[in-house]
A and B are shown apart, each in its own frame.
Chain A
Amino acid sequence: QKEVEQDPGPLSVPEGAIVSLNCTYSNSAFQYFMWYRQYSRKGPELLMYTYSSGNKEDGRFTAQVDKSSKYISLFIRDSQPSDSATYLCAMNDYKLSFGAGTTVTVRA
């Protein structure tokens, strides 16, 4: 079993919809939880990170962490075609452990 599980999708939504992404993990030692966005043939780009449990909001993006359930989520409000990308969750001890990534397409 992988340390981090993420539904690979793909996920297709109409413009303006809410995109909901999630990951589960098994390592209780993880304390920082990240979301990366990766466009085709590019390196991952950090969107936001959260320490421990709770919510964090940054513009149209909201990250949630529930350490008791070992479950994290990313919500994208008012999605735009430019949000079409692969979204990777990641968690860290001394290194980053990534999920497989969810490919999202926002249809105009």
Chain B
Amino acid sequence: DTGVSQNPRHKITKRGQNVTFRCDPISEHNRLYWYRQTLGQGPEFLTYFQNEAQLEKSRLLSDRFSAERPKGSFSTLEIQRTEQGDSAMYLCASSPPGTGPTEAFFGQGTRLTVV
């Protein structure tokens, strides 16, 4: 499968626990995006990377959230001290050089439930 891969697909955690999600972009795609989608809403931008550099972070990304892309390949998104309001689908997308978000390919998402 050569698409964007996200793991795990589902995560149930207790409030206050830390969780980490992984995204493997399409090979050769230098841009990687994280979005969050709640029920009945469109995806909301969280952050994006060009290679290993994190170039933009949304105000939605509180200090409990951190994202990394250490070698410009896969990325991780960590949420510390999870809250019930963090329950959502976390989507990762990647795009090839020179295209930006217009040709972003999305993964299947990680669905987080905080109980």
Interface hits, B37-81 → A, CB 8 Å:
40-45, 48, 55-56
Cross-chain contact A44 with B43 (CB below 8 angstroms): yes
A96 at the interface (CB under 8 A from B): yes
What is the count of residue pairs linking A and B with beta-carbon distances less than 8 angstroms? 59
A98 at the interface (CB under 8 A from B): yes
The interface on chain A, measured as residues whose beta carbon lies within 8 A of the other chain's beta carbons, has a size of 24
B residues less than 8 Å from A98 (CB atoms): 42-44
A residues less than 8 Å from B100 (CB atoms): 92, 94
B residues less than 8 Å from A100 (CB atoms): 40-42
Report the contact-size class of chain B (Cβ under 8 Å from the partner). 20 to 34
Question: 18 extra interchain contacts, Cβ-Cβ under 8 A, other than A43-B107, A49-B102?
Answer: A4-B42, A8-B40, A32-B102, A42-B109, A43-B106, A49-B103, A88-B42, A90-B42, A94-B56, A94-B101, A95-B101, A96-B33, A96-B43, A96-B45, A98-B42, A98-B44, A101-B41, A101-B42
